[in-house]
Chain A
């Protein structure tokens, strides 16, 4: 279990996270939802032990993540950052092989190669294997980053908006994969996500962040309702159900007052030309 308790964090004295409690269990998908700039990425960085929390701590199976050696940590948790910048050319195969870095000596073994092969073919990246990463599209690069994290073969997988650049098919594919990693491999998956409907469909647990604090936490059905979504995102939503009444989705109706004011101040009031 990956557990944050009483976690607070500030960038240069500017507080971002405040008293966060979160437990991500193995075999479960935990979705972090919340508006832009609310601290989802920061929370992931703290969970990974990349940032030192100002208060509280993060325990991985009872051990403080900040006390783990970097290599130990990398065998326990893999991470797909929100953005990846690449400065020097590198092939897709090499990029995925880097996921084996925590296990490597000087020369990758057959076992390393077979993991890379499995991940590449699983994600349909085989045809791109020899391509230079800097020449790929944003979505393709995002999948390569996920492939690298899967090749790391860790117990926990932390994904920061893994579907943000993907088309409809690949979004579903990646989320199915995350769910399968949790259910079939028993991995603990934590992902920051913006699509409320996707979170409702694939997550076992939803953590709703607002202003750096935990607004609500629990099963998607308990946490997500028209009230909580409007409070956190400032958007009124309606729920549409299918014929059997067992699958629904949230549909945004209108922005709250603030957003409308922004439109008016930039483009003028309606009716004006």
Chain B
């Protein structure tokens, strides 16, 4: 085998080792999450504590792992199909759609968690349907999709503001609270549904990996390499919306992960999506789980909303990566 291939394969080996390291990191974060309680890092001892552990802490950690990996993969996918490093599941208005759905449920007085999740999910997905409809009428160029997504985002934000304006003080507070993100709302049934929406599309993402690699060089180049660009782009948007909506419906808006985890992964394993998706998922899972552990212990027994902690924890980490990275811009 000649030297350049050897260099390439060596790089692949390095990436595989990095994935193993990330896996350890995610496991570590999960262990931390399981051990972290209102009394700091401590394992449950009394009967009540053990009961609470199974009923509350374990599902919480599982949900954090799921949500983190789902948002991260959705972000990586939307960056690839929109060919834009600033894209995230929120660029297409998914978060504001979800927030509006939840707000509507709150205003209408439907407070069952399932109904709220369903409403958030439906409206989150509706944004990508609007954007795809626009693409059908005009074209599916990334610029069209991003502009459409941002417009829809503003539309739903305004609608949510309107609901807050007309709602009672109590309702408004509930709406704001929902939008901070919360990992404590879901039980095992909800987790099973979220898992289906986040984990089932994952193999499809890997199947798209080579097409997405080709897309990095532009639509025309990709098309000449045999990629059905329009189909891949629409499929990518549908899948990333599904994953992000699944995450948002049960955990509220947890910002930043969808943008940052894929970039952190890219800095470590490069742009080959065969490695980028697993690495993003592990990064996202570790980050959300660790942030949640911090959220429960820093100010115990108060729990700081997860959406706030991910940003406080994630931004310094991201800056550190950005400064460390030898590339010019990331």
Q: Report Cα–Cα, A72/B266, bound state, in Å.
A: 31
Contact A85:B85 (CB < 8 A) given known A48-B224, A152-B225? no
Q: Report Cα–Cα, A145/B29, bound state, in Å.
A: 43
Find out whether the CB atom of B7 lies under 8 angstroms from the CB atom of A101. Answer: no
Q: Which residue in B83, B221, B328 is a CB contact (below 8 Å) of A84?
A: B221
Q: Which of A129-137, A198-206, A236-244, A256-264 contacts B (4 or more CB under 8 A)?
A: A129-137
Find out whether the CB atom of B2 lies under 8 angstroms from the CB atom of A94. Answer: no
User: Counting CB contacts under 8 A, is A89 at the interface?
Assistant: yes
User: Counting CB contacts under 8 A, is A46 at the interface?
Assistant: no
Min CB–CB distance A191 → chain B (angstroms): 14
Min CB–CB distance A38 → chain B (angstroms): 19
User: Counting CB contacts under 8 A, is B264 at the interface?
Assistant: no
User: Counting CB contacts under 8 A, is B327 at the interface?
Assistant: yes
Q: Report Cα–Cα, A89/B272, bound state, in Å.
A: 10
Find out whether the CB atom of B8 lies under 8 angstroms from the CB atom of A79. Answer: no
Q: Closest A-chain residue to B10, C-beta based?
A: A130
User: Counting CB contacts under 8 A, is A177 at the interface?
Assistant: no
Find out whether the CB atom of B5 lies under 8 angstroms from the CB atom of A113. Answer: yes
Find out whether the CB atom of A87 lies under 8 angstroms from the CB atom of B224. Answer: no
Find out whether the CB atom of A90 lies under 8 angstroms from the CB atom of B225. Answer: no
Q: Report Cα–Cα, A95/B225, bound state, in Å.
A: 12
User: Counting CB contacts under 8 A, is B220 at the interface?
Assistant: yes
- Which chain A residues border B49 with CB–CB below 8 Å? none
- Which chain B residues border A129 with CB–CB below 8 Å? 4, 7-8
- Which chain A residues border B83 with CB–CB below 8 Å? 87
Q: Which residue in A74, A86, A120, A132 is a CB contact (below 8 Å) of B226?
A: A74
Contact A130:B5 (CB < 8 A) given known A73-B226, A101-B210? no
Find out whether the CB atom of B7 lies under 8 angstroms from the CB atom of A93. Answer: yes
Q: Which residue in B2, B211, B327 is a CB contact (below 8 Å) of A89?
A: B327
Q: Which residue in A74, A78, A86 is a CB contact (below 8 Å) of B216?
A: A86
Find out whether the CB atom of A70 lies under 8 angstroms from the CB atom of B226. Answer: yes
A92-123 contacts to B (CB < 8 Å): 93-95, 97-99, 101-102, 104, 106, 110, 113-114, 116-117, 120
Find out whether the CB atom of A101 lies under 8 angstroms from the CB atom of B226. Answer: yes
User: Counting CB contacts under 8 A, is B144 at the interface?
Assistant: no
Min CB–CB distance B165 → chain A (angstroms): 40
Q: Report Cα–Cα, A93/B211, bound state, in Å.
A: 17
Q: Report Cα–Cα, A45/B229, bound state, in Å.
A: 15
User: Counting CB contacts under 8 A, is B311 at the interface?
Assistant: no
Q: Closest B-chain residue to A99, C-beta based?
A: B225
A interface secondary structure, majority? helix
**Chain A residues bordering chain B, tally (CB within 8 A):** 47
Min CB–CB distance A143 → chain B (angstroms): 14
A30-81 contacts to B (CB < 8 Å): 45, 48, 50, 70-75, 77-79, 81
- Which chain B residues border A70 with CB–CB below 8 Å? 223, 226-228
Min CB–CB distance A196 → chain B (angstroms): 26
Q: Report Cα–Cα, A152/B226, bound state, in Å.
A: 11
Q: Closest B-chain residue to A160, C-beta based?
A: B220
A212-248 contacts to B (CB < 8 Å): none
Q: Report Cα–Cα, A78/B11, bound state, in Å.
A: 28
Min CB–CB distance A72 → chain B (angstroms): 8
Q: Report Cα–Cα, A82/B272, bound state, in Å.
A: 24
User: Counting CB contacts under 8 A, is A267 at the interface?
Assistant: no
- Which chain B residues border A95 with CB–CB below 8 Å? 217
Find out whether the CB atom of A86 lies under 8 angstroms from the CB atom of B270. Answer: no
Q: Report Cα–Cα, A72/B85, bound state, in Å.
A: 31
Q: Report Cα–Cα, A104/B225, bound state, in Å.
A: 11
User: Counting CB contacts under 8 A, is A126 at the interface?
Assistant: yes
Q: Which residue in B3, B7, B85 is a CB contact (below 8 Å) of A87?
A: B85
Q: Report Cα–Cα, A27/B5, bound state, in Å.
A: 31
Find out whether the CB atom of B213 lies under 8 angstroms from the CB atom of A93. Answer: no
Find out whether the CB atom of A79 lies under 8 angstroms from the CB atom of B221. Answer: yes
Q: Closest A-chain residue to B5, C-beta based?
A: A113
A78-B224, A114-B2 given. 17 additional CB < 8 A pairs?
Answer: A48-B223, A70-B228, A77-B224, A87-B85, A88-B79, A88-B266, A91-B11, A93-B8, A95-B217, A101-B213, A106-B210, A106-B274, A110-B1, A129-B4, A130-B11, A132-B327, A145-B221
Q: B residues touching A (Cβ–Cβ < 8 Å)? A: 1-5, 7-8, 11, 79, 83-85, 210-211, 213-214, 216-218, 220-221, 223-228, 266, 270-272, 274, 327-328, 330
